Amino acid sequence: MTEIEREEIRKELQRKLASGNLSLLEQAIARSEAMRALNPGLYDQAAAVVSARVRSVATAGAFGAEAKKHVERTH
């Protein structure tokens, strides 16, 4: 990803976050994508750890039935 592409992603995400029309999940996704765009290597390392922990908690049902179904479907 080029620096120009990263900048475009960052601006788009800032616009969406500033609008205030995003759900908490959408805000978390936007922040995550911004981190990925700005530092892909570090993001991948952190994502592996977080993903494993979130997956185990979500499959236990801590985030509700919809989140549990999503995790089971996507992982």
Q: What is the mean pLDDT of each run of 10 residues along the chain (75 residues)?
A: 79 79 79 81 84 82 82 78
Q: pTM for the whole thing?
A: 0.41
50 plus 72 within the same structural domain: yes
Task: Write out the residue range of the structural domain in which residue 34 sits.
Answer: 1-38
- Reference 74, options 57, 51, 49; nearest CA is 51
10 plus 27 within the same structural domain: yes
10 plus 29 within the same structural domain: yes
33 plus 45 within the same structural domain: no
Instruction: Please state, in angstroms and rounded to a whole number, the distance separating the CA atoms of residues 28 and 62.
Output: 17
Predicted local confidence at residue 1, as pLDDT: 65
Predicted local confidence at residue 67, as pLDDT: 80
Domain count, the chain: 2
Is the separation of the CB atoms in 48 and 32 below 8 Å? no
1 plus 34 within the same structural domain: yes
Predicted local confidence at residue 66, as pLDDT: 83
Predicted local confidence at residue 16, as pLDDT: 78
30 plus 47 within the same structural domain: no
6 plus 19 within the same structural domain: yes
